């Protein structure tokens, strides 16, 4: 299908919105009626047609608006994109991976023409047509990682692998769930995850690292993570927390359905061929509570998950104060009926709300 | 003087050890204030004959005792900032196998460790021993300004004036802990400051 790109904003008047198509394909993260941390990895080799899992780098109706928002964030704070000196080759690896994937997966939107080291990249939605020399930094307007990630939805962490660990040595991070690349750059896997509660004790990070260190070329993996955001704000950075934190207090029983968003990260992991680095794209999807409630199964389940989440997790994810109001709202959409297993909305087979 | 036992914390928080003399033909010891006592504890005439000591007293009176160890080179700096050019020069001229010893406050050790890392020495190869003040070097995540010697939580950013809480999350590259606005969701609701380890 041809994608109609939304003209919308993720700040100020928050005109962001999901079409019916985007709601149906929203990556709802809960496969059962409760949630606890898990490594929850699976292969990233396609998925159901039209789903966010189908392509290597999903492009959706928010693409152009998200790239506009990223450019604004970078103009305000260029340190959201950093690459330590030894990571330039990994940046080229990433540029190649994205250009090849997008031109193959979306031939109507992106074209890559390669003649030896002379490459021509055409990005139709953004109106870009550039010719450059592969592996020659001087032929691009930005470094290779910054160039391509200014044109690709999602945050990108480029991880160096050495000493049996992964090191956050480069990244483009403008749509983050409250963590700072500028602070964390140079840290190893355990250090940048240090503030996460409960998961260290459960051995989650030891197991996850073991898995990630062994990811091979051509065999990418994926998992979901989630949090809550008031207003469809992409840039929930610690740098700007003193500005956006107050928005959490603007929820009322009347506006919560429209203002409160479930924020889901589709995290993928690709081994890069020349540098042996690992790229870790973190793609953010937002959906308002009221749009989620159009799927009866998701309404029932989200109520149960939010209600039963341990206090530590609700605190870490930043919605402990708003949880009672969220539950008042969500309980209207939970009639106690059982839900089908798995994340899909099953809107053709699940019973309508019976209350 | 007894050493402060830091409570267990998260994995990005530095852990300090106890200095031990290691074999090597060159030794660089950087200390501030009570860190001098850790050097005095391991000093031997053989070791000192190959040692360059850089010491920032910060009001502590150990200079004469350190000089009396008769190190190969000795420098007393008025501040860390005044000493850093010399530290860089020593690291630049260093030969393979230089042993680095850092002792004193967290801010001193963190900044000197960062210099050594930039000179190519892995942080795991650098010895550290905490002595003296438990105050922290803090970075405001909002304005990026550094406030030195923070003793209370919360504290006021010395640059942008926001009320910040003291996290244990630590960046070796910045040699600083992270300070985050404490009253962003409830402006003006700032708890009374207390000691970081109280």
Give the gap in angstroms from C-alpha A8 to the nearest C-alpha of chain B: 26
* Contact call for residues A267 and A225 (beta carbons, < 8 A): yes
Mean pLDDT of the B165-173 span: 97
B165 three-class SS = strand
What pLDDT shows up at residue A36? 87
* Contact call for residues A286 and A14 (beta carbons, < 8 A): no
Structural domain boundaries of chain A?
20-246+263-288
A246 three-class SS = helix
pLDDT tens for A140-161 read 999 999 999 999 999 999 999 9
Which tokens go with A18?
Answer: 């999901």
Q: Which residues make beta-bridge pairs with B153? A: B194
Give the gap in angstroms from C-alpha B74 to the nearest C-alpha of chain A: 33
Residues of B in contact with A241 (CB under 8 A): 141-142, 180-181, 184
Residues of A with CB under 8 A from a CB of B: 180, 182-187, 190-195, 200, 238-246, 248-249, 321
What pLDDT shows up at residue A39? 78
Cross-sheet strand order for the sheet of B73-76? B73-76, B51-56, B27-32, B99-104, B127-130
Please enumerate in sequence order all residues whose Cβ is within 8 A of that of A216, keeping only pairs 6 or more positions apart, or say none.
Answer: A271
Percent of chain A with pLDDT over 70: 100
Q: Name the residue facing A183 among B10, B11, B178 (closest C-beta).
A: B178
Q: Name the residue facing A195 among B10, B142, B174 (closest C-beta).
A: B10
Domains (range + CATH), chain B: 27-130 (3.40.50.80), 136-195 (no CATH)
CB contact under 8 A, A321 and B185: yes
Q: Which long-range contacts (CB under 8 A, 24 or more apart) does B77-86 make?
A: B80/B32, B80/B56, B80/B107, B80/B108, B80/B111, B80/B112, B83/B30, B83/B54, B83/B56, B84/B111, B84/B115, B86/B54
Looking up tokens 């290779």 gives A144
pLDDT tens for A19-51 read 999 999 999 999 999 998 877 899 999 999 999
Q: Name the residue facing A194 among B12, B172, B180 (closest C-beta).
A: B12
Residues of A in contact with B141 (CB under 8 A): 180, 183, 238-239, 241
pLDDT-derived band at B1, boundaries 50, 70, 90: low
Classify residue A15 as left (phi > 0), alpha (psi -120 to 50) or beta: alpha
Residues of B in contact with A238 (CB under 8 A): 141-142, 178, 180
Q: Which chain B residue lies closest to A190 (C-alpha atoms)?
A: B11
Written as tens digits, the pLDDT of chain A (355 aa) is: 589 999 999 999 999 999 999 999 999 999 999 998 877 899 999 999 999 999 999 999 999 999 999 999 999 999 999 999 999 999 999 999 999 999 999 999 999 999 999 999 999 999 999 999 999 999 999 999 999 999 999 999 999 999 999 999 999 999 998 999 999 999 999 999 999 888 888 888 999 999 999 999 999 999 999 999 999 999 999 999 999 999 999 999 999 999 999 999 999 999 999 999 999 999 999 999 999 999 999 999 999 999 999 999 999 899 999 999 999 999 999 999 999 999 999 999 999 999 8
Within 13 Å and on the Cβ side, how many CA atoms surround A120? 6
CB contact under 8 A, B141 and A239: yes
Which DSSP helix (H) or strand (E) runs through A189?
helix A189-192
Which tokens go with B12?
Answer: 């990005």
Q: Which chain A residue lies closest to B175 (C-alpha atoms)?
A: A183
- The span from the CA of A337 to the CA of A265, in Å, is 28
Selected for mutation to probe chain A from B169, B175, B188 (highest A CB count within 10 Å) is B169
E strands in A80-181: 81-83, 110-115, 118-123, 128-133, 155-162, 165-172
What pLDDT shows up at residue A109? 98
Name the CA dihedral angle for B40, B44, B50, B53, rounded to a multiple of 10 degrees.
10
What pLDDT shows up at residue A40? 84
- The span from the CA of A22 to the CA of A77, in Å, is 30
- The span from the CA of A234 to the CA of B145, in Å, is 25
Please enumerate in sequence order all residues whose Cβ is within 8 A of that of A182, keeping only pairs 6 or more positions apart, or say none.
Answer: A79, A80, A82, A239, B144
Question: In this structure, what are the phi and psi dihedrals at residue A80, rounded to the nearest 5 degrees?
Answer: -70, -15
Residues of A in contact with B11 (CB under 8 A): 190-191, 193-194, 200
Mean pLDDT of the B23-41 span: 97
- The span from the CA of A266 to the CA of A154, in Å, is 9
Within 13 Å and on the Cβ side, how many CA atoms surround B59? 2
What b-and-e string marks burial along B80-114, b requiring 16 or more CB atoms within 10 Å of the CB? beebbeebeebbeebeeebbbbbbbbbbbbbbbbb
CB contact under 8 A, B139 and A183: yes
pLDDT tens for B146-159 read 999 999 999 999 99
Annotated catalytic residues of A are: 223
CB contact under 8 A, A183 and B185: no
Distances (CA, A) of A339 to A22, A330, B34: 22, 15, 64
As a whole number of Å, the CA-based R_g of chain B is: 18
CB contact under 8 A, B12 and A195: yes
ipTM, two decimals, is 0.93
Q: At how many degrees (to 10) do helices A296-308 and A323-330 cross?
A: 150
Q: Which chain A residue lies closest to B117 (C-alpha atoms)?
A: A186
Which DSSP helix (H) or strand (E) runs through B166?
strand B163-171
Residues of A in contact with B180 (CB under 8 A): 238, 241
Q: Which residues make beta-bridge pairs with B31? A: B55, B103
Residues of A in contact with B10 (CB under 8 A): 194-195, 200
Give the gap in angstroms from C-alpha A99 to the nearest C-alpha of chain B: 32
Q: Name the residue facing A183 among B162, B174, B181 (closest C-beta).
A: B174
Residues of B with CB under 8 A from a CB of A: 10-13, 139, 141-142, 144, 162, 167-169, 171-174, 178, 180-181, 184-187
CA nearest to A290, candidates A322, A332, A244, A250: A332
CB contact under 8 A, B12 and A186: no
Residues of A in contact with B166 (CB under 8 A): none
What pLDDT shows up at residue B37? 98
What pLDDT shows up at residue B140? 98
Q: Which residues make beta-bridge pairs with A132? A: A119
């Amino acid at each position: 299908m041809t994608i109609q790109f939304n003209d919308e904003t993720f700040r100020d008047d928050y005109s962001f919105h999901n079409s019916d198509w985007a709601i149906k394909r929203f990556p709802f993260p809960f496969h059962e009626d409760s949630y606890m941390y898990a490594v929850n990895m699976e292969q990233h080799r396609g998925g159901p047609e039209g789903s966010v899992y189908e392509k290597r780098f999903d492009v959706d109706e928010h693409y152009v608006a998200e790239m506009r928002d990223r450019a604004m964030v970078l103009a305000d704070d260029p340190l959201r994109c950093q690459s330590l000196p030894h990571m330039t080759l990994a940046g080229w690896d990433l540029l190649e991976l994205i250009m090849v994937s997008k031109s193959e997966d979306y031939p109507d939107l992106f074209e890559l023409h390669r003649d030896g080291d002379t490459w021509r990249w055409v990005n139709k939605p953004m109106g870009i047509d550039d010719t450059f020399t592969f592996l020659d930094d001087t032929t691009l307007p930005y470094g290779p990682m910054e160039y391509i990630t200014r044109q690709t939805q999602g945050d990108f962490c480029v991880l160096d692998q050495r000493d049996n660990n992964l090191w956050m040595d480069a990244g483009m991070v403008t749509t983050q769930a409250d963590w700072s690349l500028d602070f964390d750059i140079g840290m190893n896997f355990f250090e940048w995850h240090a503030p996460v509660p409960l998961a260290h004790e459960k051995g989650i990070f030891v197991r996850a690292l073991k898995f990630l260190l062994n990811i091979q070329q051509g065999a990418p993996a994926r998992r979901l993570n989630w949090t809550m955001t008031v207003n469809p704000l992409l840039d929930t950075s610690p740098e700007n927390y003193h500005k956006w934190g107050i928005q959490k207090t603007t929820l009322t029983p009347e506006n919560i359905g429209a203002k409160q968003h479930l924020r889901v990260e589709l995290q993928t992991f690709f081994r890069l061929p020349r540098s042996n680095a690992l790229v870790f794209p973190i793609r953010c999807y937002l959906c308002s509570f009221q749009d989620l409630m159009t799927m009866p199964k998701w309404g029932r389940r989200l109520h149960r998950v939010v209600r039963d989440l341990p206090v530590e997790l609700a605190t870490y994810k930043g919605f402990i104060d708003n949880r009672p109001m969220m539950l008042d709202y969500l309980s209207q959409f939970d009639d106690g009926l059982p839900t089908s297993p798995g994340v899909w909305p099953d809107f053709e087979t699940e019973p309508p709300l019976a209350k | 003087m007894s050493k402060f036992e830091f409570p267990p914390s998260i994995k990005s928080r530095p852990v300090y050890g106890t200095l031990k003399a290691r074999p090597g033909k060159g030794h660089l010891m950087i200390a501030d204030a009570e860190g001098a006592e850790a050097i005095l504890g391991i000093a031997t005439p053989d070791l000192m004959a190959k040692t360059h000591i850089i010491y920032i007293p910060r009001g502590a009176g150990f200079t004469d005792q350190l000089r009396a160890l008769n190190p190969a080179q000795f420098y007393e700096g008025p501040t860390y900032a005044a000493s850093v050019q010399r530290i860089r020069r020593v690291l630049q001229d260093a030969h393979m196998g230089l042993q680095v010893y850092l002792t004193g406050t967290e801010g001193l050790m963190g900044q000197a460790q960062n210099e050594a890392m930039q000179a190519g020495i892995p942080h795991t190869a650098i010895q550290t021993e905490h002595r003296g003040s438990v105050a922290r070097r803090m970075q405001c995540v909002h304005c990026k300004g550094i406030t030195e010697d923070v003793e209370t939580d919360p504290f006021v950013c010395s640059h942008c004036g926001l009320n910040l809480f003291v996290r244990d999350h630590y960046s070796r590259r910045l040699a600083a802990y992270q300070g985050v606005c404490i009253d962003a969701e409830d402006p003006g609701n700032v708890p009374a400051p207390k000691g970081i380890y109280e």
